[in-house]
Structure 1
Amino acid sequence: MTITHRTGQVDTTTDRGGEGTASLESLPTQATPDSGPVIASRSRAGEGRLAALDGLRFLAALAVVLFHFIGQKPKTMVHLWGRTPENIFPDAHAVFAFGRLGIDLFFLISGFVICLSAWGRTPRDFFISRVTRLYPMYWIGVVVSAICIKFAGAPFGSASPREILANLTMLQKPLGVDHLDSVYWTLWPELCFYLTFSVVVWKGLTYQRVLIFGGLWTLAAVLAPAADIPLLTLVVNPPSAPYFIAGMAFYLMYRFRPTPLLWGVVGMSWLLALHFLLTPGGGRISWNDWSPWRGWLILVITAFFFMIAAIALGWTRRINWRWLSVAGTLTFPLYLLHSPIGLTVAHRFGDRVDPRLLIVGTVIGLVLLCYVAHRFVERPLATAMRRWLKTASFTPATPVSRQG
């Protein structure tokens, strides 16, 4: 199927931190020959950043932050605050427990943004973009976590030299090493997504190839648990896969207009996401630790899908406040730094300061700290890495033989 564009431009993103900040640039269109009917692409040039997507990313991060402060399981809350949730957050605890689902919104947004950011880019550009957006802030997070564990009395985690070194690779999951911080578990599904999606980038992104990739991933996610192949399950990440796949389908709607096929992909992903979420003992949630009314879980996940659908359908194009875009750049730093720093503060001062005031002050302080870290540490480091990688040769050169 040949995809024709109404303009000579394609979309991409210039993203900083995490899985990327939603913005649009113009790049030369690459020829992507296929066979089949023609689907016209809508031009998005000149519409600026997707501020609504940035805002959703920040809200998802904030939901995770408040979950860790207020909504964790009672045993963990006692260890953190020294008191049961009923004594400190009698009403808020049950509400903010749903903040753990902010991760699912992250994955939905990631599928949308990574597809957008890779369109029209070479595999080399895609690799450089992902490495320089992910690793600099992550390394900062690992260092901060290690310092908090070793010297500041962080309430969770351990930091042996082996664990620190393994975590610096971001490959601690397949290496069988504990995460230095519990929030790092989400990075492995992201890495697997980047790795497998890079094959499509290498072939050249087209409407058809993204759909085929999503279809194959859906099939693998369904078959992996039944096949009982640990390596396949490790790479496919069945509980997370439907969100990435739906995010990609939403991006195709945004770029090429909605079709019944795309809505079918979204609908199937929604059903599978709920299946894995509600599966006893087989999903991401431990029902022994948290067992809310299942209807609330369905409503929250459905709301996430509707919010991304609104962006894909262009209903949020009037939302263009600059502060949302700034907030989007702080999402990854906030996600990585809130746990080692924020929970250490709560653990050390929770019995001396009103918990509500402590949380508000800590969150505000974390946001300011994340801005400083992004502006003066992460961005310069990412820029230097990007400059170095762009001048590096990715083709192994044949060494000169010692013998003539």
Structure 2
Amino acid sequence: MTQADRTGSAGVATRRENEGAVAEEVPLPHTAAATRVIAAGPVARKDRLAALDGLRFLAALSVVLFHFIGQTPQAMIVVWGRPYQTTFPALHGYFAFGRLGVDLFFLISGFVICMSAWGRTPRDFFISRVTRLYPMYWVAIVVSACVIYLADSPFGHPNPRVLFANFTMLQTPLGVANLDPVYWTLWPELCFYLTFAVVVWKGLTHQRVVIFCGLWTVAAVLAPSAHIPLLTLIVNPTSAPYFIAGMSFYLMYRYRPTPLLWGIVAMSWLLALHFLLAPHGGRNNWDTWSPWRGWLVLVTTVFFLLVGAIALGWTRWIRWRGLTVAGAMTFPLYLLHDTLGMTVAHHYGDRVAPATLVGVTVSILILLSYLAHRFVERPIALAMRRSLNTAAFGLQPPTPRP
């Protein structure tokens, strides 16, 4: 779902959607920047940012390993039945940083969503997002519910009301717990889509995206001190800097770097670190790993640098198709690993060597995620897309039956 260009005389080129779900054709204005892509001919498909797919998979894998190895001491006891000192004493402190993979997800999402929405109508954007998020999410909820309600999992047996609310993906504003804790990231994503849809409706331009980034930054700064729950719920202050930086990086990729865009990225980086290190009110509690706080700054900075390198075109030489496949199965891996993986660790943690159990389970989860994407997520998404593409979205009633 990529395109690199500047506004100018119109030319057309095609790229595939970088999320790996559905291929799409998008208009690509012909400019000096776009000429480099068009001139390459068949390379346009290879230049679909395989490095971004690879980063996405690494982010998912880091979250998976965090849940197995680096969770809080209390969570490790719940999952493994014993403290981390007897399971992963040497690795626990390192893999605790795997939770930062979610921040990398948000950073990539800002880049990718801005890229995929360019030149689309609000209808196209809506269909793209719905068919991207909901099919695999619904499948994951069904799988997770079966495990949670039918097996002895460390997730308890929540009220069925929780299950029904989670199917809507609106459990956070409804004040309902996530059926699987990893679902918390879907609300910031959904808020980003909903607010960004306003810009899509007006028509994406460099200026409008920059203004959107500026307004969101101001809202994210004011929300914590304004004590307006609705504002905080919508702007997601702790996640906003990553989305904003991702959009700015995409503008660099599509046009060229400017002092203004670098300024937005720098401000986002500073705010990200501020919220990350906040002793109260932030979504991360790093008290257990307080000696490692300097590494938090380093890891977050590396994330920004990696996406910046992609935005500047330094990774165009990376064209391995395997990265595209890995990126495509990232969403299933993220949604399925927690309930399934933690239940396996809960049941077999005292029977199998922890390192062996983690290695085997993660390998199976990766294979399962590929199969889920190939034979479940993609077919359902394509069917939904075909159906929605032919549906009438107007408020007028359909033609009466004869």
CA-CA distance at 1:4 after TM superposition: 2.6
Identify the residue that residue 3 of structure 2 maps to in structure 1.
none
Question: Residue 332 of structure 2: SS of its match in structure 1?
Answer: helix
> For residue 269 of structure 1, what is the amino acid of its counterpart?
S
Cα RMSD (Å):
2.1
CA-CA distance at 1:240 after TM superposition: 0.3
> 2 CA distance for matches of 1:387 and 1:308?
33
Identify the residue that residue 44 of structure 2 maps to in structure 1.
47
1:134-149 matches, within 5 Å, as 134-149=133-148
TM-score by length of 1: 0.91
Matched, 1:258 2:261: no
* Equivalent pairs, count: 388
The 1:168–1:25 alpha-carbon spacing in structure 2 relative to 1, beyond 3 Å, is closer
Identify the residue that residue 204 of structure 1 maps to in structure 2.
203
Identify the residue that residue 268 of structure 2 maps to in structure 1.
269
> 2 CA distance for matches of 1:258 and 1:156?
46
> For residue 7 of structure 2, what is the amino acid of its counterpart?
T
Matched, 1:361 2:364: no
CA-CA distance at 1:75 after TM superposition: 1.3
> For residue 149 of structure 2, what is the amino acid of its counterpart?
K
CA-CA distance at 1:24 after TM superposition: 8.6
CA deviation string 1:326-346 (max 9, x = no partner): 000110000000001111111
CA deviation string 1:66-87 (max 9, x = no partner): 0000000111111111121111
CA deviation string 1:191-215 (max 9, x = no partner): 0000000000001100000000000
The 1:280–1:312 alpha-carbon spacing in structure 2 relative to 1, beyond 3 Å, is same
> For residue 175 of structure 1, what is the amino acid of its counterpart?
L
> 2 CA distance for matches of 1:350 and 1:12?
45
CA-CA distance at 1:152 after TM superposition: 1.9
> 1 CA distance for matches of 2:33 and 2:146?
49
> 1 CA distance for matches of 2:257 and 2:271?
21
> 1 CA distance for matches of 2:244 and 2:330?
22
TM-score by length of 2: 0.92
> 1 CA distance for matches of 2:125 and 2:11?
21
> 1 CA distance for matches of 2:298 and 2:52?
20
Question: Residue 120 of structure 1: SS of its match in structure 2?
Answer: coil
> 2 CA distance for matches of 1:108 and 1:353?
37
Matched, 1:74 2:73: yes
> 2 CA distance for matches of 1:228 and 1:392?
41
CA deviation string 1:158-212 (max 9, x = no partner): 3322111100000000000000000000000000000000000001100000000
> For residue 126 of structure 1, what is the amino acid of its counterpart?
F
> 1 CA distance for matches of 2:28 and 2:315?
26
Gaps of at least 5 residues in structure 1 are: 31-38
Question: Residue 7 of structure 2: SS of its match in structure 1?
Answer: strand
Identify the residue that residue 34 of structure 1 maps to in structure 2.
none
1:26-37 matches, within 5 Å, as 26-28=25-27
Identify the residue that residue 56 of structure 1 maps to in structure 2.
55
> 2 CA distance for matches of 1:312 and 1:189?
23
CA-CA distance at 1:135 after TM superposition: 0.3
Check whether the contact 2:21–2:381 (CA below 8 A) recurs between aligned residues.
no
Check whether the contact 1:12–1:26 (CA below 8 A) recurs between aligned residues.
yes
1:154-303 matches, within 5 Å, as 154-303=153-302
Check whether the contact 2:14–2:28 (CA below 8 A) recurs between aligned residues.
no
> 1 CA distance for matches of 2:156 and 2:130?
26
> For residue 101 of structure 1, what is the amino acid of its counterpart?
L
> For residue 208 of structure 1, what is the amino acid of its counterpart?
Q
CA-CA distance at 1:290 after TM superposition: 4.4
> 2 CA distance for matches of 1:184 and 1:280?
24
Identify the residue that residue 8 of structure 2 maps to in structure 1.
5
Identify the residue that residue 117 of structure 2 maps to in structure 1.
118
The 1:399–1:377 alpha-carbon spacing in structure 2 relative to 1, beyond 3 Å, is closer
Identify the residue that residue 14 of structure 1 maps to in structure 2.
17
Check whether the contact 2:165–2:171 (CA below 8 A) recurs between aligned residues.
yes
CA-CA distance at 1:12 after TM superposition: 6.4
Question: Residue 243 of structure 2: SS of its match in structure 1?
Answer: helix
Identify the residue that residue 33 of structure 1 maps to in structure 2.
none
The 1:154–1:260 alpha-carbon spacing in structure 2 relative to 1, beyond 3 Å, is same
CA-CA distance at 1:41 after TM superposition: 5.0
> For residue 105 of structure 2, what is the amino acid of its counterpart?
F
CA-CA distance at 1:42 after TM superposition: 3.8
Gaps of at least 5 residues in structure 2 are: 1-5
Check whether the contact 2:180–2:339 (CA below 8 A) recurs between aligned residues.
yes
CA-CA distance at 1:7 after TM superposition: 5.4
> 1 CA distance for matches of 2:84 and 2:243?
33
Deviates more, 1:81-90 or 1:359-368: 81-90
> 1 CA distance for matches of 2:250 and 2:23?
13
Identify the residue that residue 35 of structure 1 maps to in structure 2.
none
> For residue 328 of structure 2, what is the amino acid of its counterpart?
T
Check whether the contact 1:123–1:202 (CA below 8 A) recurs between aligned residues.
yes
Check whether the contact 1:12–1:119 (CA below 8 A) recurs between aligned residues.
no
Identify the residue that residue 315 of structure 2 maps to in structure 1.
316
CA-CA distance at 1:99 after TM superposition: 0.2
> For residue 189 of structure 2, what is the amino acid of its counterpart?
E
CA-CA distance at 1:380 after TM superposition: 1.0
